[in-house]
Amino acid sequence: MTKILVTNDDGVHAPGIFALAQAMRQLGDVTVFAPATNQSASGHKKTLFAEIPVAQTTLRDGYPATAITGSPADSVSMAALGIWQDWPPDIVVSGINRGGNMGQDITYSGTVTAALEAALTGVKAIAFSLDNMEANDPADYAEAARVAVEVVKVALARPLPPLTILNVNIPKIDRVKGLRLARQGVRIYFDELVPVNDDKSVYRITGPAPSGVYDTVGTDVWAVHRGYASITPIHLDMTAHQFMAELSVWDIEV
């Protein structure tokens, strides 16, 4: 039987992981390991300087799940390190995230970095995100879950290269126009610094959701902005290969 490990960064009780876990049950045996609370934008965090509680819980339909009081990557890592007797799964699926993870979002994204953690252990992984920050009900994730089933169905039968994951984004639309192979586009952020107290010793980072450069053809932000789901292969080698030659003539002497 196909073994599918489901995780996320919005927390084990988020609507998106429920929709994803339920959909994945069409394709195999589903096991859920996810953060106990919302860990969005926690990046590829590994908890090394705190103790990490592990608890059994259930999804909203009573399906068993394991809640990790740590990061998304911790959830995958701890499953791999021995909490889950059945490791390795055939695939790790992460999401469905509340909000897109496109362009430069991916190193912030716990959804994507949970998948990257799986890739570090040599396990196939896919991240799914819905470009809708107001998706608070499992029904809002129905179309994204349908897309996830189609993607995972094919991916289960194909190898992925080492250190490579797939990053899938789904637009806020009743029926996607299709799936587009896309490269990472450019995000535009609108972060704002807001002082919390009068002496300005405490702040919040807030602001509207990011937009993107929507007119560059072939990118994730381009595809999703036009009603297509996007699929982007992501590699953990973040070397700027195109800059290596120029950097070589800097003549840094040490």
Binding site for Mn ion (CB under 5 A): 9-10, 40, 97
Minimum gap (Å) between residue 208 Cβ and Mn ion = 17
CA 41/CA 218 separation, integer angstroms: 25
- 87 versus 127: smaller Cβ distance to Mn ion: 127
CA distances from 155 to 108, 160, 183 (A): 25, 8, 18
- Cβ neighbours around 152 below 10 Å, total: 26
- Pairing status of strand 54-58 against strand 64-68: antiparallel
- 31 versus 40: smaller Cβ distance to Mn ion: 40
Minimum gap (Å) between residue 97 Cβ and Mn ion = 4
- 7 versus 66: smaller Cβ distance to Mn ion: 7
Minimum gap (Å) between residue 11 Cβ and Mn ion = 8
Residues in the chain: 254
Residue 54 burial (C-beta neighbours within 10 Å; 0-12, 13-18, 19+): middle
Question: Helix or strand or coil: residue 129?
Answer: strand
Minimum gap (Å) between residue 224 Cβ and Mn ion = 16
Minimum gap (Å) between residue 34 Cβ and Mn ion = 11
First vs last C-alpha separation in the chain: 56
- What's the Rg (C-alpha) of the chain? 19
Q: Take residue 49 and report the two structure tokens written for it.
A: 């300087």
- 99 versus 212: smaller Cβ distance to Mn ion: 99
User: What is the helix (H) or strand (E) element at residue 98, kind and residue range?
Assistant: strand 91-98
Minimum gap (Å) between residue 147 Cβ and Mn ion = 18
- 10 versus 74: smaller Cβ distance to Mn ion: 10
What DSSP assignment string belongs to 130-149? ES-TT--SGGGGHHHHHHHH
Closest CA to 36 of 53, 20, 18: 53
CA 99/CA 93 separation, integer angstroms: 16
Q: Find the residue with minimal CB distance to Mn ion.
A: 40
Minimum gap (Å) between residue 114 Cβ and Mn ion = 10
- 9 versus 140: smaller Cβ distance to Mn ion: 9
- 13 versus 87: smaller Cβ distance to Mn ion: 13
